[in-house]
Every structure is written in C-alpha cells, then in structure tokens.
Amino acid sequence: MCGICGKIYFDRSRQVDERLIRQMADVLRHRGPDDSGVFAAGCVGLGHRRLSIIDLTPAGRQPMANEDGSLQIVLNGEIYNYTELRPGLEARGHVFKSRTDTEVILHLYEELGPACVEQLRGMFAFAVWDARRQELFLARDRAGKKPLSYAIVDGSLIFASELKSLLKDPALRSEVDPVALHHYLTYQYVPGPQTIFKGVHKLPPAHTLLLRNGDIKIERYWQLFYKDKLQLPKREDYCDQLRHVFTEAVKIRLRSDVPLGAFLSGGVDSSATVAVMAQLLDRPVKTFSIGFDDKDYDELTYAAMVARQYGTEHTEFVVRPDALQILPTLIYHYDEPYADPSAIPTYYVSKLTREHVTVALNGDGGDESFAGYERYRADALAARYARLPHVVREGIARAANLLPYREYRWSFSRRLKRFLSGVADEPARRYVRWLCYFSNDMKDDLYTGEFTRAMAAHDSLTLTELAYARSDAPTLLEKSLDADVNLYLPYDLLVKVDIASMANSLEARSPFLDHKVMEFAASLPARLKLRGGQGKFILKKAFEPMLPREILYRKKMGFGMPINRWLRTDLKQPAYDILLDSRTIGRGYFKREAVLGLLDDHTSLRADHSYRLWALLWLELWHRMFVDKSEVLGL
C-alpha cells in the first residue's frame, strides 16, 4: 500500500525535473512512510512512497525495474493472487529479485502487456514505463479501491494517487470546475471522471490508460453483468456457494508480513468478515471497534457480541469527536469537497487501529452487492405506492406535511417525508432524489442568478440516469445496485475509506470487493437479495450458522455522526460566521439570503438542513485551503 506519482513529456527531448517528482512523492508520505524512491530518465519520471506490507526488505523498493531495466513500475495496492501467478512466470524464464507482488505485475506486463490487468486479483493503481516502446501505461482496479488522477499540462501527462501531489506541478492551475461543484452539491462527492479542478480527471475504476506517441487511449477492461443468473436446486446451495466464494476472498487477504486485524462495527458485513477470519487463522483475530457517547450512533454492544463469540483480541475506542478540530485535517486529506459525515468516524477508527496493526480487513461492499441499504427497500415500496388510488396518495402527502420535525434520525416522520420527496419521479431520478443533498429546486433557491444560468445545461441527476441506462440488469433493484457500483461505491464509499486509512498509514482490505465475490453476487437472482422487505436476504441466510440473529436481523445503523446537533451547538456560530462571510458569498455561487435561511431554519428546528450546511461548510473551507492557499488550522 503506497502512493505513486509521475510525469512524462510528449516531446521526448524535454527533461523531467527529478526534484519535482520528489516533491510530488513527498506530499504522499502518509501513504507510505517506510521508504521512498524516484526514477527519472529524460522525458519521464516516476515517484513512490512505500508502506511495507509484503517483503519488508530493500528488495521491495520502488520504482522497480525488470531484468534488463527496460520496464519501470510504481504500484499502490495489493495483488492478492501474486503467489499463484509467480510460478508460471518463473517457468517461462522470468527471474525474480524480491518476494513482492509488484514484481509479479512487472513480469506479467512483459508477457501480456496491458492485458495483464485481467489476471490481477486485488486493489491497485499502477504505472509502467516501457522504455523500448516509449509507452506509459496506467491501470486502476475493478472496484476503484485505489485512486489515480491525471492531467495534461504544458505538453505533459502528470498522474498521482492524490490531487495534492499533482498540485505540486507549477504548470497545473488549481482552477475550480463549476460543473464538478454543481454535481458535488447533489451527491456529496465529485463523481468521476471529473475532479473539482478543471482539466484534472480521475481514471475510472476498471480502466486503463495507454500513452503512445502522444496519443492517449482509455479502455474499460471489466464490468459486472446481471443477466445470466445462477440456478441452483435449493436455497442452501446458494448459501454454501456464497460462503465458499467469500471465504476464499478472505483467505487470500490474510497474506501479510506485518500485523493484521479487522474493523468490527457489529453490522452484518464486518461481522461475517471476522467470523471467517476466525475460522482461517490459528490465532485470535485482532478486532477494533469505535463507539460514541451518542447512543444513536453507538454499536459497541453488537461488536462486543461478535468479539466474544469468536474470542477475538478486541479493542474498543470511545471517542468524543470534535468537529472544530478534525474538519481541517479531513479537508486537507480528502483533496476535494467531500461531505459524507461518516468520514469522521472512519478517520478515528483508522487512526486508533493503526496504533496496533498495519492492515485491517473490513466489510465494505456488502451493501452494494447484496442490497443492504434502506433505499433499495424504498424503491420496491415505491412501486406498490404508485398503485394506490390518487386520492389516497394525496392524503398521505398532506398528513406527512403536518407531521412535526423529529431530530431522531430513524423517526417515522423523517423517513416518510424523505420517501415522499422522490416517490413520484422516474426510477433513476427518484433514486438520486433520495440520496441527494440539494435537489434541483433547492439549487434554484440557493444559486445566484449568474451561477444558475451557468449550470442550466447541467442536470446532475442525469449521471444516475446514464448509469441506469448502461446497465444490463433485468430488474429495477439490480439497476440500482449497478448504479451504486459505478457511482456511489468508487466515488464516495471507497474514497472515504482509502483516504481515512491512508492518512494514518493503514492498509484497508475489503473481501466483499473481491471481483469474484461481486460477480457471484451479480449472478444471484434478485429475489435472493431483497425478499419480503429484508435486504441482504441470502447473505444473512448464509451466515445464520455463524452469527447471532441479533447481528443479522437488527436495523442497519450506518456509520454516521450527529452533525444536526453540532450545527445547533458547537458548530452553530462558526457555521454562521463562515457561510455568511463576505469571502464566501463573494465567490458568486450562492445567495446570502438563501444561506441565511438554511441556517435559521436548521437552528430553530423548523427543518433539518444538517447535511446541506455540512456540504456548504466543507466546500468553503476547502476553497480557503486549496484555492486561496490559506491555512485552515481551526474554524
């Protein structure tokens, strides 16, 4: 697990500045505190920061060359099937000087070229410079666990694991892309391939980039297909196969030369991961859970239940999050506006876990493959709701408007109002309406006239509509799952975990995101994922022999923070001060009276605008740090 960067001039007579590559790499030190390396030769330079996981010796140092030095590689990630790939390469005459997975990719590239990615099983972003062909090859893993961004500037291509590394190149202007900002206010993140900066792009998951003779070719090498379904005689057969596929994915993620453990939230996915680890390891699993004083967000009781059942070496942390202190740190590490509040507990649990281990398995990806989110159930309910007589639906809507505001996030009134907010839309637009921070109507109220006109041709909801349209899924549920796999998963959830863990030099591994597990899940009939209002139906059935019913069938809590309360207490005055500041309003995006209305409605309990205010607060502080270049040491 590491950080990578590089630069290549299209004009082969130009020389890359080795000092720039070192500066780009040094910004990524948190991703790889153990070692660093630079390769610079003529028009190309590669940089690397290393977090040593496999083969801790100097032989694993990167950039790494093949036998004759014609290839150079830098890798961020882990290839879990490298031990299976190596013997075949050795049989074909390749000579290895290390025990690393990096060198396996290097020799596999010699054999297969860009097609080598199809053989890799893991999480990765890597670059290969081929001096003989004068080609640069970039690749990103299937699910999008490991980030990789690039830009074309001053006759060159630059790339890096994080945007802050790219910004070290003085040729790159840190100019905000207003369309990306517009999309951020809908989704709480900037959907790829855009970034918040003009001219800077994310290489999408499951894609490769080949630079040859000044031409750039980007191709997709993998995607999920939902049409061909697995047909087995009995439900138990599906359960058996699911446990087998998942166990194998966990097993290959236990390869490590450094201490290894697991996040344990007490939810289905992390609990299943720990249960399988306990069966595979000959020593107690080291598990880590985080709790809070606020019981609406605390799951320690459930995590402890699983820890006791499997005799893990369990460590609990109870934290009292201080948004005033942690927000500037998060803004620095996330590089882009990123308003998912669960970044806070993810950062805390990563920081505290890193004090004990270097690698931690987690349960990420189970919801998107097995229909774990409440919105999937709401989608199914919407079809039934649409069949009700019009007069009945009107009555429900009027009654919902009369319900009082409730602060408790699972209150009936909050959930009903959210459901009704998008139930009348077409499926794709309805789905994103349930997820969005600012709807189109809200943006019309918020935006200045100039910004409204500038964004008139850009409907953020079409990004989800396109994801639905591209999917081959035969059911609405699976189209929603596929849309999440291509949008929410790589650009929100996986960004959150990658940044929070790597900010603390911790490697996070996700067996549910093994592409064989994802492919198996896609092959399951939809009725086995969502059944009778029960999400993750087949996953829960498969793990009934291994986990308590209290774990499998309790309400999903999620990994959140009470930002609604913070914005009425500790963050109230800072929010008013910052969001109404002349510098903020002067950016020309938002009307002062609209922002003031959001603040007043929220603090007076007339409405819950917590996520919207959080998004605006993060956006402005991000501007001050990355655009204004001023330090944000406190709010």
Residue 216 sits in the same domain as residue 293: no
CA dihedral 30, 32, 37, 39 (to 10 degrees): -90
Q: Give the mean model confidence (pLDDT) for residues 124-136.
A: 97
Angle at 254 (CA atoms; ends 521, 513), nearest 5 degrees: 25
What's 114's domain CATH number? 3.60.20.10
Whole-angstrom distance, CA of residue 514 vs CA of residue 245: 10
> Which has the closest alpha carbon to 566: 602, 531, 590, 532?
602
Please, what sign has the CA dihedral across residues 612, 536, 314, 33? negative
DSSP state of 227: S
**Calpha distance 622→337 (Å, rounded):** 6
CA distances from 179 to 148, 183, 470 (A): 20, 6, 22
In a domain, residue 350? The reply is yes
Q: Reply yes or no on whether the pLDDT at 233 is more than 90.
A: yes
Q: At 599, give phi and psi (nearest 5°).
A: -65, -45
Lookup: tokens for 522: 């896609």
Mean pLDDT of 289-300: 79
Q: Which of 220, 252, 287 is the last residue of a domain?
A: 220
- Residue at 613 is within a domain: yes
Residues 530 and 576 both lie in one domain: no
Residue 240 half-sphere exposure toward CB, CA atoms < 13 A: 6
pLDDT for residue 165: 98
- Say whether both 214 and 256 belong to one domain: no
Distances (CA, A) of 426 to 25, 386, 429: 46, 11, 5
Domain check: are 66 and 214 in the same one?
yes
Residue pair 118/81 in contact (Cβ under 8 Å)? The answer is no
Alpha helices in 487-609 (DSSP H): 488, 494-502, 515-523, 537-542, 549-552, 563-566, 572-579, 582-585, 592-603
Catalytic center residues: 2
With respect to residue 398, please indicate whether it lies within any of the assigned structural domains: no
| Both structure tokens of 432 | 């994103």
Q: Is the pLDDT of residue 449 over 70?
A: yes
What is the pLDDT, as a whole number, of residue 342?
92
- Token duo for residue 69: 């030095």
Cβ atoms of residues 33 and 46 within 8 Å: no
Q: What is the mean pLDDT of residues 289-314?
A: 88
Helix/strand/coil (H/E/C) assignment for every residue in 50-118: ECCCCCCCHHHCCCEECCCCCEEEEEEEEECCHHHHHHHHHHCCCCCCCCCHHHHHHHHHHHHHHHHHH
Pair (97, 189) in one structural domain: yes
Tell me the average pLDDT across 88-96. Answer: 95
The reported pLDDT for the residue numbered 595 is 98
State how far the Cα of 64 lies from the Cα of 253, in Å rounded to an integer: 23
pLDDT score, position 635: 53
pLDDT digits (tens, 9 = 90+) for 524-547: 999 999 998 899 999 999 999 999
Q: Which of 242 and 382 is assigned the larger pLDDT?
A: 242
Q: What angle do CA 538, 541, 542 make, to 5 degrees?
A: 85
Average pLDDT over residues 162-186: 97
- Grouping H, G, I as helix, E, B as strand and the rest as coil, residue 210 is strand
Answer with the one of 552, 583, 601 that is the final residue of a domain: 552
* Band (146; pLDDT cuts 50, 70, 90): very high
Q: What are the two backbone dihedrals, phi and then psi, of residue 563, each rounded to the nearest 5 degrees?
A: -65, -25
The H-assigned helical ranges of 371-493 are: 374-386, 390-402, 412-422, 427-435, 440-446, 449-454, 461-470, 476-486, 488
For 589, the domain range is 562-635
Residue 324 has pLDDT above 60, yes or no: yes
Three-state DSSP string of 134-203: CEEEEEECCCCCCCCEEEEECCEEEEECCHHHHCCCCCCCCCECHHHHHHHHHHCCCCCCECCECCEEEC
Are both 574 and 535 inside the same structural domain? no
176 and 278 assigned to the same domain: no
Q: Which residue has the tokens 């803004």?
A: 331
In the predicted model, is pLDDT for residue 406 greater than 70? no
Average pLDDT over residues 246-261: 95
210 pLDDT band (50/70/90 cuts)? very high
CB 127 within 8 A of CB 141: no
Domains: count for the chain: 3
Task: Establish if 381 belongs to a structural domain.
Answer: no
Q: Which of 220, 248, 273 is the last residue before a domain boundary? A: 220
**Are 55 and 183 within one domain?**
yes
Please state, as a whole number, how many other Cβ atoms lie within 10 Å of the Cβ of residue 297. 20
- Give me the pLDDT at residue 633, please: 54
Share of the chain above pLDDT 70, in %: 92
Q: Are residues 130 and 181 in the same domain?
A: yes
Q: Sorting pLDDT into bands at 50, 70 and 90, what band is 387?
A: low
Across the strands, what pairs with 44? Answer: 8, 41
Query: Would you say residue 89 lies in a domain?
Result: yes
Is position 140 within any domain? Answer: yes
Domain match, 114 and 209 both = yes
Q: What is the CATH number of the domain that holds 298?
A: 3.40.50.620
Name beta bridge partners: 286: 313
415 part of a folded domain: no
Measured at the CA of 266, the angle between CA 480 and CA 543, to 5 degrees, comes to 70
Q: Do residues 32 and 166 share a domain?
A: yes
Of residues 377 and 539, more confidence is placed in: 539
Sign of CA dihedral 277, 278, 282, 287: positive
pLDDT of 17-37, one tens digit each? 999 999 999 999 999 999 999
Phi/psi at 447 (5° precision): -70, 150
Token reading at 536: 């993750």
Question: If residue 251 lies in a helix (H) or strand (E), which one and from where to where?
Answer: helix 235-252
Judgement on whether residues 123 and 216 belong to the same structural domain of the protein: yes
The answer as to whether 10 is a domain residue is: yes
Amino acid 408: pLDDT: 52
Phi and psi torsions of 335, nearest 5°: 70, -40
Confidence band of 429 (pLDDT split at 50, 70, 90): confident
